[in-house]
């Protein structure tokens, strides 16, 4: 803005003319019309008409420039907002990581401190106690490792390996992996797969990960005797759709907006990293698709994935 005020008004006018020919054309037309019309009534009228027309030209220019300024300011503040939102989520993410790692570290420290105490005493420590402490250290390292490894997956932005993928095949493979767990809880696992589903261009291992994750979540959420339904079908706009529906506990309304956030979990300490669904979300976005959730608390949840049949490679 500052810069523009130093350039000549005439240059500004030419600059504006390019972008707003229609508006300026009308104003100029008024100038051209006003002077001969004014001349008929007398030179004073011609002068007044000319002045008025020139004034309208200047006003138009000013209004347009103000509109431009406002637009640029809005763009700038949108950018700043996005930046501050990004910073806030990095802050939140770091606090989440710190918390998830600090807890296993705290236990490791306790176990080691306790073992050191035991070995300071004259008599040799109880073998069972020593073993329990060491086993717990291994446990907690595994817990922390799961978090760091998931984070690495989460952060990895490598190119998906694109090939022709038979989505129904992937669904069948993954449902067979969870069949046993479903049987144990007497859960009815229903597959409604469209037989004529087109091949899609996608990354099979990444899709397997997403579908397995959704199935595991569904099994955890569903009580004995419930039903999990997996649906595949062709959708509009050359897309395919996969649904994982369950009749489980459902997700409370207030949690729905956070369900894909990293580290968001309602599971007890050490039982869930809260990264599963956020990883799924990241994968589906990278594959050019969308994942959405609908849920009614106490009745069940439905995760719907839409994927393009052909992957747009630009910008990926």
- Residues interacting with other proteins, by CB under 8 A? 94-95, 98-103, 105-111, 113-114, 117, 136, 266, 268-270
* Shortest distance in whole angstroms from residue 143 CB to other proteins: 10
CA-nearest of 279, 316, 15, 2 to 152 is 279
* Shortest distance in whole angstroms from residue 131 CB to other proteins: 15
Cα separation of 293 and 264, whole Å? 15
Query: Which is nearer to other proteins, 74 or 99 (by Cβ)?
Result: 99
Helix (H, G, I), strand (E, B) or coil at 131: helix
* Shortest distance in whole angstroms from residue 107 CB to other proteins: 5
Q: Phi and psi at residue 70, in whole multiples of 5°?
A: -60, -40
* Shortest distance in whole angstroms from residue 303 CB to other proteins: 23
Give the end-to-end CA distance of the chain in Å, rounded to a whole number: 35
Name the packing angle between helices 127-155 and 43-120 (round to 10°): 160
Query: Which is nearer to other proteins, 110 or 227 (by Cβ)?
Result: 110
H/E stretch holding 292 = strand 290-296
Helix (H, G, I), strand (E, B) or coil at 25: helix
Could you give the C-alpha distances from 138 to 104, 105, 131, in angstroms and in order?
10, 11, 11
Q: Find out whether 177 and 219 touch, Cβ atoms under 8 Å.
A: no
Query: Which is nearer to other proteins, 94 or 186 (by Cβ)?
Result: 94
* Shortest distance in whole angstroms from residue 113 CB to other proteins: 6
- Residues making up the chain, counted from first to last: 316
Query: Which is nearer to other proteins, 17 or 107 (by Cβ)?
Result: 107
Q: Phi and psi at residue 264, in whole multiples of 5°?
A: -80, 120
* Shortest distance in whole angstroms from residue 274 CB to other proteins: 11
Query: Which is nearer to other proteins, 204 or 277 (by Cβ)?
Result: 277
Query: Which is nearer to other proteins, 99 or 316 (by Cβ)?
Result: 99
CA-nearest of 252, 202, 210 to 230 is 210
């Amino acid at each position: 803005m500052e810069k523009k005020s130093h350039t000549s008004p005439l240059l500004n006018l030419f600059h504006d003319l390019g972008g707003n020919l229609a508006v300026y054309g009308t104003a100029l037309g008024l100038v051209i019309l006003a002077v001969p019309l004014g001349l008929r009534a007398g030179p004073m009228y011609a002068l007044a008409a000319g002045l008025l027309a020139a004034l309208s030209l200047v006003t138009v220019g000013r209004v347009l420039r103000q509109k431009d300024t406002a637009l640029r300011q809005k763009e700038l503040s949108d950018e700043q907002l996005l930046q501050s939102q990004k910073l806030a989520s990095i802050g939140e993410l770091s606090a989440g990581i710190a918390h998830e790692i600090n807890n296993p570290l705290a236990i490791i420290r306790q176990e080691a401190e306790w073992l050191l105490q035991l070995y300071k005493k004259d008599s040799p420590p109880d073998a069972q106690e020593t073993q329990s402490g060491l086993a717990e250290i291994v446990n907690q390292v595994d817990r922390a490792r799961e978090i760091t490894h998931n984070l690495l997956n989460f952060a990895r932005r490598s190119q998906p390996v694109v090939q022709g993928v038979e989505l129904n095949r992937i669904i069948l493979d993954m449902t067979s992996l969870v069949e046993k767990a479903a049987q144990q809880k007497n859960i009815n696992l229903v597959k409604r797969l469209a037989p004529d589903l087109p091949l899609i261009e996608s990354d099979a291992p990444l899709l397997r990960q997403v579908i397995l994750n959704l199935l595991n979540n569904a099994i955890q959420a569903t009580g004995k005797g419930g039903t999990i339904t997996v649906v595949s079908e062709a959708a509009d706009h050359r897309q395919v759709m996969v649904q994982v529906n369950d009749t489980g506990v459902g997700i409370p309304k207030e949690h729905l907006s956070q369900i894909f956030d990293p580290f968001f979990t309602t599971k007890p300490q050490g039982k869930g990293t809260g990264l599963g669904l956020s990883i799924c979300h990241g994968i589906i976005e990278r594959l050019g698709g969308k994942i959405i959730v609908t849920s009614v608390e106490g009745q069940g949840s439905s995760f719907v994935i839409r994927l393009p049949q052909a992957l747009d490679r630009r910008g990926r």
